[in-house]
Amino acid sequence: MRNKIPCTAQKLSQLHPDMIQSVVGAQVFKLGHEYYTANCVRLVDSDDAEITSEVNGPFGLYEQSIALKGGNLLTKCSCTSTEQPFCRHCVAVLLGYHSPGTARDAVRTQESSVWEESVTPVTPIAPAASSATSLSAKLREITIFLDWLPQAVKCLQLDQDLPEAPPMDAGDVRGFVQSVQRLMTRWRLSEERRIVLEAELSSRDSHLNRLMKQMEDFAQEADQAQAACEGMQLALTNCKGMQSRLSEIGRERERLEDQLKVVMEELIRKGSALNHFASSFKEVSSTFHEVATPSLQNSDTTHSHAV
């Protein structure tokens, strides 16, 4: 909620609690004071011109920025309150900034004159003229509330928006109505959140099912791959056996080659000896032939003479 009201104060420290109460009213001031006394206020950054703060209330954490600028008090709060001219959280922050015992008390001046005429200070609630009048007013408010309550319950049962809050002065009963409205808003938000979470859960469930299916497929593929691996391992073992056999055959071939070399060398050696023998035989034969030829000629002559 953002708001702007004319204000003649020069410094935020001049906004005394009485002045704050005079402009927001007793009920809002009371709630703001409760936040302040419960230590719900945290001043993030503050000086006499501007305050940045946080108020941690029962309905969540709200952020405020409050400033004096151009003769106006500018208030902004992240809450959804319609309290005027500013909400209970801003009241709590101003009270926190104006905490007793600080030097800011010394600058308290012109208490009732900071709000310009366009801002109507809320008249402090005067003591009741009589206890009977007060009781009568409270009974009237309770009656209005009890009239409103069945309609609200019916709307809750039908999941419809709550009926408009009945017109009544700020007080406990109005607080009850606002509490019911806030609870309804929170329930709605919770319900929306629940629906979103359920949708998300369903989506994640589907995703999980898909992942499970993929895992089953992977497991089947892994089984097939393992079977293929085992087949390949068997083939590899066979290959190793064949390789071993080939090695043996290679060694046998080398051995045979060595034997063949030995035989060849022996043959060459015997061939050479045979050649040598043949040439010797040839020489012997030639010699024999030379020796034998004249003898034969002599023999033929002798024989012819004999004839």
Chain residues in the site for Zn ion (CB under 5 A): 77, 79, 87, 89
CB of 187 to Zn ion, least distance (A): 21
Closest by CA to 15, choosing from 87, 111, 127, 117, is 111
CB count within 10 Å of CB 5 equals 16
Closest by CA to 148, choosing from 176, 186, 184, 188, is 176
- What crossing angle do the helices spanning 131-157 and 172-306 adopt, rounded to 10°? 30
CB of 97 to Zn ion, least distance (A): 15
Cα–Cα distance for residue pair 298/293, rounded to 1 Å: 9
Cα-flanking dihedrals φ and ψ of residue 71, to 5°?
75, 20
Nearer to Zn ion, 45 or 159 (CB): 45
Nearer to Zn ion, 51 or 79 (CB): 79
CB of 76 to Zn ion, least distance (A): 9
Residue type, 57: G
Nearer to Zn ion, 28 or 152 (CB): 28
Q: Is 115 helix (H, G, I), strand (E, B) or coil?
A: strand
The answer to whether 85 touches 119, Cβ cutoff 8 Å, is yes
CB of 86 to Zn ion, least distance (A): 8
Nearer to Zn ion, 19 or 79 (CB): 79
Nearer to Zn ion, 87 or 114 (CB): 87
Nearer to Zn ion, 89 or 104 (CB): 89
CB of 64 to Zn ion, least distance (A): 7
Cα–Cα distance for residue pair 169/240, rounded to 1 Å: 100
Report CA-CA distances (Å) from 141 to 26, 155, 177, 180.
17, 21, 11, 15
Nearer to Zn ion, 77 or 180 (CB): 77
Question: What residues pair up with 55 in beta bridges, in sequence order?
Answer: 41, 62
Cα-flanking dihedrals φ and ψ of residue 123, to 5°?
-70, 125
In the chain, DSSP assigns E strands to: 2-6, 41-46, 50-57, 60-69, 72-77
CB of 9 to Zn ion, least distance (A): 21
What own/partner pairs with CB < 8 Å and gap ≥ 24 does 199-206 have? none
Nearer to Zn ion, 79 or 173 (CB): 79
Nearer to Zn ion, 86 or 148 (CB): 86
The answer to whether 104 touches 98, Cβ cutoff 8 Å, is yes
CB of 57 to Zn ion, least distance (A): 8
Half-sphere exposure (Cβ direction) of 218: Cα atoms closer than 13 Å = 6
CB of 184 to Zn ion, least distance (A): 19
CB of 106 to Zn ion, least distance (A): 29
